[in-house]
Amino acid sequence: MVSSPQPPAPAGADIAQIRQAVAALCARFPGEYWRALDRERGYSRDFVQALTQGGFLGCLIPEEYGGSGLGIGAAAAILEEVHKSGCNGAACHAQMYIMGTLLRHGSPAQKQKWLPGIASGEVRLQAFGVTEPTAGTDTTALRTTAKRDGERYIVNGQKIWTSRVEHSDLMLLLARTSPRRDERRADGLSVFLVDLRDAVGKGVTIRPIRTMMNHATTEVFFDNLAVPSENLIGEEGKGFRYILDGMNAERILIAAECVGDARWFIAKATDYAKSRVVFGRPIGQNQGVQFPIAKAYAQSEAAALMVERAAQLYEGGRPCGKEANMAKLLAADASWQAADMCIQTHGGFGFAEEYDIERKFRETRLYQVAPISTNLILAYLAEHVLGLPRSY
């Protein structure tokens, strides 16, 4: 997987300023805000609006289209800071990177039409329709079809786990435009921009899925949905490659969120271990309590270095599939270990809603499975980096 060149990230001081600005914004959305939404499975509209207005979600869009033209390192810093502050970027992180497919493979007319609105947040591109119930991780087995009919395509089929679609104006959709051939499995899939403002109720039905954490995810059904052929991105049949192109960015950014989560858990556990007194001394004086915190710290710092390395390669337009995958793997493991350690450090209080730990614990668990599961990253490293036989 080779990433496209990106403009360089701003110098260290600028990233530090971005972090400060994001932290200040996040301070306006404390634990109570997230807890109330979590109970109701509500969407964090005000938080998303604040990030949009701050220009953070358009940071990867080039300046000529109204974005700030920053590099992936800056985007990673923004999302890490969101998570380190106890907030959750899952409500909107896709607005940052889904547009990459349009930016790299869209026509000049498509970019001019859509990117300025996406950069300003006026047009929300939050939804990414890839996963299907029967295909699972085997994306090329997907069954949703788009059949050409004059100046439009007619879409039929079903997606699952399409997150944020109820809070999005556009969806990037991967559908089959010609039958799968075993010898060329990556061919025959195409990418479309679906304008949901025209489509819901006219060929698109959305059914929310309640999950263990607050994630605004859904099932989406397509029943003879008409999509104008001008909404096809790039060449027909090449869509799977276009989607793969964007995956390094997605992995780096999700990894940055995991690093942020890990840092939040570690800070929370450290503070508590210093102040909670049992048997006449702070619990953090016991090695049985302090070692897991120290270990989580070392793991999260190592993961952060890998995220940084992957981001540097990506920004330099160099191959970074190995590093982006390892960043995602290490960071998701670090945040999950830190989450477990944080509950353990807090004893019974770790389970109390008002501490926010059990909420963050549920939220960070997702990243062992999505957007790519840990096993599939290991399979990638085994096969493509170590040269072991393909296992599936």
Ligand X SMILES: Cc1cc2nc3c(=O)[nH]c(=O)nc-3n(C[C@H](O)[C@H](O)[C@H](O)COP(=O)(O)OP(=O)(O)OC[C@H]3O[C@@H](n4cnc5c(N)ncnc54)[C@H](O)[C@@H]3O)c2cc1C
* Footprint on this chain of ligand X (rule: CB under 6 A): 128-131, 136-137, 161-163, 211, 215, 217, 366, 369-373, 375-376, 379, 391-392
Collapsing DSSP to helix, strand or coil, 27 comes out as coil
Report CA dihedral (294, 336, 368, 256) to the nearest 10 degrees: -70
Q: DSSP of 151-163, one letter per residue?
A: TEEEEEEEEEEEE
- The catalytically annotated residue of 80, 81, 132, 250 is 250
Query: Do 60 and 72 meet the contact criterion of CB atoms below 8 Å apart?
Result: yes
- Cα 280 from Cα 255, distance rounded (Å): 40
Of 21 and 379, which has the nearer Cβ to ligand X?
A: 379
Residue 97 Cβ, how far from ligand X at the closest point, in Å?
12
Residue 281 Cβ, how far from ligand X at the closest point, in Å?
42
Residue 280 Cβ, how far from ligand X at the closest point, in Å?
45
**Strand 204-209 vs strand 145-149: parallel, antiparallel, or unpaired?**
unpaired
Of 289 and 366, which has the nearer Cβ to ligand X?
A: 366
Of 218 and 270, which has the nearer Cβ to ligand X?
A: 218
Helices 357-365 and 31-40, axial angle in degrees (round to 10): 60
Residue 260 Cβ, how far from ligand X at the closest point, in Å?
18
Of 301 and 383, which has the nearer Cβ to ligand X?
A: 383
| φ/ψ of residue 198, rounded to 5 | -95, -20
Of 72 and 130, which has the nearer Cβ to ligand X?
A: 130
- 31's enclosing H/E stretch is helix 31-40
**E-strand stretches of 130-280:** 145-149, 152-163, 170-176, 189-195, 204-209, 217-228, 232-233, 277-278
250 is catalytic: yes
Residue 56 Cβ, how far from ligand X at the closest point, in Å?
20
Of 72 and 98, which has the nearer Cβ to ligand X?
A: 98
- Cα 331 from Cα 306, distance rounded (Å): 9
Residue 170 Cβ, how far from ligand X at the closest point, in Å?
13
Beta bridge partner(s), residue 181:
184
Of 18 and 125, which has the nearer Cβ to ligand X?
A: 125
Residue 276 Cβ, how far from ligand X at the closest point, in Å?
33
222: tokens are 């397509």
Distances in Å between the alpha carbon of 286 and those of 73, 277, 281, 341?
38, 11, 9, 14
Burial of 65 (0-12, 13-18, 19+ CB in 10 A): buried
Q: Which residue is nearest to ligand X (CB)?
A: 136
The catalytic residue positions are 250
